[in-house]
Amino acid sequence: MYNPLEEMYDYERWALNALIVVAFLFVSGVVLEEAGVDNPLSEALFEFYLDPISGESSGDSGYNRVNTITYALVLGLFVIAIAAWLRFLSIDPSDSSLLALLPFVTWAAFGEVVEDAEMFGSELAPYFVSPGIHFQAAFWVVLAGAVAYSTDWEKGDDESSKANLESIASVLIIAQFVLYGSSISSSSIVLNDGIGLAPMAVSAAAAIAFTRLSRPSIASFTPIQRMVYLTGFGGSMIFLGALASYAMAHPPEQDRIWPLIAVIGIPALLCYAMYSHGREANEELARHGFVAGILPPGINEEQYNSISSPDKDLIQDLRGRASMAQPLVFLAVAGQVMDGLATWIGIDGFPGLSEKHVVSQGVIDWGLWLNEKLGITHGMLDEGVWLFTLVKFALAALIYYFFSILNFEHRERHLRLLVGLAMLVVGMAPGLRDVGRLTLGV
Burial class (CB in 10 A: 0-12, 13-18, 19+), 333: buried
Res. 156 pLDDT band, cuts 50 70 90: low
User: Nearest Cα to 318, choosing from 284, 274, 294?
Assistant: 284
Task: Give the pLDDT score at 2.
Answer: 37
Residue 257 one-letter amino acid: I
The model's pLDDT over 3-19, given as tens digits with 9 standing for 90+, comes to: 455 578 899 999 999 99
Res. 405 pLDDT band, cuts 50 70 90: very high
- Residue 62 pLDDT exceeds 70: no
Task: Give the pLDDT score at 397.
Answer: 96
Please state, as a whole number, how many other Cβ atoms lie within 10 Å of the Cβ of residue 274: 22
- Residue 273 pLDDT exceeds 70: yes
The model's pLDDT over 174-196, given as tens digits with 9 standing for 90+, comes to: 999 999 999 999 999 999 998 99
Residues 59-64 have a mean pLDDT of 60
User: Residues 355, 347: contact at Cβ < 8 Å?
Assistant: yes
The model's pLDDT over 213-250, given as tens digits with 9 standing for 90+, comes to: 999 999 889 999 999 999 999 999 999 999 999 999 98
Please state, as a whole number, how many other Cβ atoms lie within 10 Å of the Cβ of residue 432: 24
Instruction: Give the whole-angstrom CA distance, residue 271 versus residue 329.
Output: 9
User: Nearest Cα to 105, choosing from 338, 435, 426, 372?
Assistant: 426
Task: Give the pLDDT score at 210.
Answer: 96
Task: Give the pLDDT score at 36.
Answer: 86
Give the HSE-up count for residue 76: Cα atoms under 13 Å, Cβ half-sphere.
8
**What letters, b where the CB count within 10 A reaches 16 and e where it falls short, cover 10-21?**
eebeebbebbee
SS3 380: coil
Res. 58 pLDDT band, cuts 50 70 90: very low
Instruction: Give the whole-angstrom CA distance, residue 393 versus residue 100.
Output: 26
H-state helical runs in 298-383: 301-306, 310-324, 327-349, 358-374
Instruction: Give the whole-angstrom CA distance, residue 180 versus residue 120.
Output: 8
DSSP state letter for 352: T
- Residue 322 pLDDT exceeds 70: yes
User: Residues 136, 235: contact at Cβ < 8 Å?
Assistant: no
Mean pLDDT lowest for which of 24-38, 57-71, 344-358?
57-71
The pLDDT mean for the chain works out to 88
Task: Give the pLDDT score at 356.
Answer: 73
Res. 291 pLDDT band, cuts 50 70 90: very high
Burial class (CB in 10 A: 0-12, 13-18, 19+), 31: exposed
- Residue 106 pLDDT exceeds 90: yes
- Residue 49 pLDDT exceeds 90: no
Residue 376 one-letter amino acid: I
Res. 1 pLDDT band, cuts 50 70 90: very low
| Straight-line distance from the first to the last Cα atom of the chain, in angstroms, rounded to the nearest whole number | 58
